[in-house]
């Protein structure tokens, strides 16, 4: 993908987040590794009106064209991409069920084998810090350690991946798991899969389907 195609793919993913119902308004933001830095959504521009040239290029030192304004969450996008060479795309949104659990300070335990898709036997919930702060970024990077998704207390969710398509897929899957967990909690305390089974599933998943080589 060239520069413009990458910018358009970010806008398309933003529009899809809202069409899928995993985000509201402009509360989400997306970044994609690009050249020696990253491309990130601008702050507070409705996705329907967003133009490829409004996507902000940011260096890995956090520098950007002062005529542009990156997402207020650029710190965690930058810090995740700096800390994780395995990650090329970061998707942040406020999906309703993820946010319900995050408000309650709950992580997603191994209720279903698909929890393994996020890289471990839980989907952690990062402690609260004000949006856009370095403190929130530090909490997010820690909650994502060895994982591909986390919740953010009183805030929302982050999903990451080796490609934007995979990070988007995971964002939808995590919201599905959050919805399932929320449903279980209406009935009682759900039984959980053992950690060893999640590890077993992770091994099987590595060889599942038509995985890219």
Interface residues toward ligand 13P, by CB under 6 A: 26-27, 29, 41, 43-44, 71-73, 131
What are the structure tokens assigned to 210, written together?
């038509």
Nearer to ligand 13P, 41 or 121 (CB): 41
Q: How far is the CB of 196 from ligand 13P (least distance, A)?
A: 36
Residue 72 beta carbon to ligand 13P: minimum distance, rounded to whole angstroms? 3
Nearer to ligand 13P, 58 or 116 (CB): 58
Residue 71 C-beta: closest distance to ligand 13P, Å: 3
**What does the buried/exposed string (b/e) look like for 32-65 if buried means 16 or more CB atoms within 10 Å of the residue's CB?**
bbbeebbbbbbbebebeebeeeebbbbeeeeebe
> Which residues are catalytic, by number?
73
Torsions phi, psi of 194, nearest 5?
-70, 150
**Shortest CB 19 distance to ligand 13P, Å:** 18
Q: How far apart are CA 94 and CA 114, in angstroms?
A: 20
Residues forming a β-bridge with 91: 30, 159
Q: Which residue number, 142 or 204, has a Cβ lying nearer to ligand 13P?
A: 142
User: What gap in Å lies between CA 206 and CA 202, rounded to an integer?
Assistant: 6
């Amino acid at each position: 993908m060239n520069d413009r195609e990458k910018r358009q793919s970010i806008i398309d993913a933003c529009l899809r987040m809202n069409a899928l119902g995993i985000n509201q308004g402009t509360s989400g933001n997306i970044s994609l590794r690009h050249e020696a830095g990253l491309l990130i959504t601008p702050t507070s521009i409705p996705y329907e009106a967003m133009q490829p040239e409004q996507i902000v290029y940011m260096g890995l030192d956090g520098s950007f064209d002062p005529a542009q304004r990156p997402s207020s969450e650029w710190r965690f996008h930058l810090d995740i991409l700096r800390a994780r060479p395995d990650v090329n795309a970061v998707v942040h949104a406020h999906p309703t069920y993820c946010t319900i659990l995050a408000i309650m300070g709950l992580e997603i335990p191994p209720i279903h084998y698909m929890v393994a898709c996020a890289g471990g036997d839980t989907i952690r919930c990062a402690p609260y810090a004000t949006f856009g702060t370095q403190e929130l970024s530090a909490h997010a990077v820690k909650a994502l350690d060895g994982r591909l998704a986390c919740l953010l207390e009183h805030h929302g969710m982050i999903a990451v991946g080796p490609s934007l398509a995979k990070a988007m897929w995971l964002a939808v899957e995590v919201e599905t798991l959050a919805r399932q967990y929320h449903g279980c909690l209406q009935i009682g305390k759900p039984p959980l899969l053992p950690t060893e089974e999640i590890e077993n599933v992770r091994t099987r998943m590595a060889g599942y389907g038509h995985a890219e080589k």
